[in-house]
Amino acid sequence: MAARVHQPKKKQQGVLPFRQNGGRRAGAGRKPKGEKALVGHGPRALLAARFPAHVTMKLLRGLPRLRSKREYTTLRTAFAAGCDRHGFRLTHYAVLNDHLHFLVEARDRTALTRGLQGLAIRIAKALNRLWRRAGTVFADRYHDRILKTPREVRNALRYVLGNGKKHAAEGREVAVPQAIDTYTSAPWFDGFRETIVVRGIEAIVRPVALAHTWMLTIGWRRHGLLSVHEVPMAG
């Protein structure tokens, strides 16, 4: 895919001291061990259907990079198959070399968990077939952050769609030579101020579901459309 950007003059549209034995205490419970212990194992926060969530999944060390043509084609196919199932919707994503960012919707915490588990299984199986290997692909269970305000949603959109540019600016072995990062769902995003034309997109199966929540469809836009020139802050 190759993207070009046009700068219209008017309204534009888009193509985180007393101790005793027993009882609850600081430091009690399971301790992190090894490279897989990246996310705490406490109870997840409740999720209401009106709130989207920002999800991060990290690969095990030593696996091939995801930002290459074969890996990305494999990922897009898995995304398309698992982006809208049983009350779970994958609406936006970013593929980095060793991790994935998702913006998702779900009717409740159970639907979110099952949807992400199913998506992770699809991704792992597809990548293992590609790499001719077997075994674990992801380093730990996913990390999620519930987005409860329109501004949080806009910031998350900017972060996910611009994460590759942020990594490139930091010199982290990521290149984004075009106006948008085509290793993200940006080619299917309609919230840019600039007009985006992506050649060849009509031949690709859409890898993301349409958002349903007010937050991801209307609410975030009240703080202004995104620009292709925006780069998220570190964090």
96 found inside a domain: yes
Chain segment 43-61, per-residue pLDDT in tens: 556 678 999 999 999 999 9
74 found inside a domain: yes
Confidence of residue 232 (pLDDT cuts 50, 70, 90): confident
Closest CA to 102 of 214, 208, 228, 205: 208
Q: List the domain range (segments joined by +) for residue 209.
A: 46-223
Q: How many domains does the chain have?
A: 1
Chain segment 59-83, per-residue pLDDT in tens: 999 999 999 999 999 999 999 999 9
pTM (two decimals): 0.80
31 found inside a domain: no
- Assess whether pLDDT exceeds 90 at residue 217: yes
Residue with tokens 């997840």: 44
Which CATH number characterizes residue 181's domain? 3.30.70.1290
- Measure the N-to-C terminal CA separation of the chain; round to a whole number of Å: 29
Strands (E) located in the chain? 2-6, 53-58, 84-85, 88-95, 99-106, 143-146, 195-199
101 found inside a domain: yes
37 found inside a domain: no
Question: Mean pLDDT, to the nearest integer, of 148-166?
Answer: 94
40 found inside a domain: no
231 found inside a domain: no
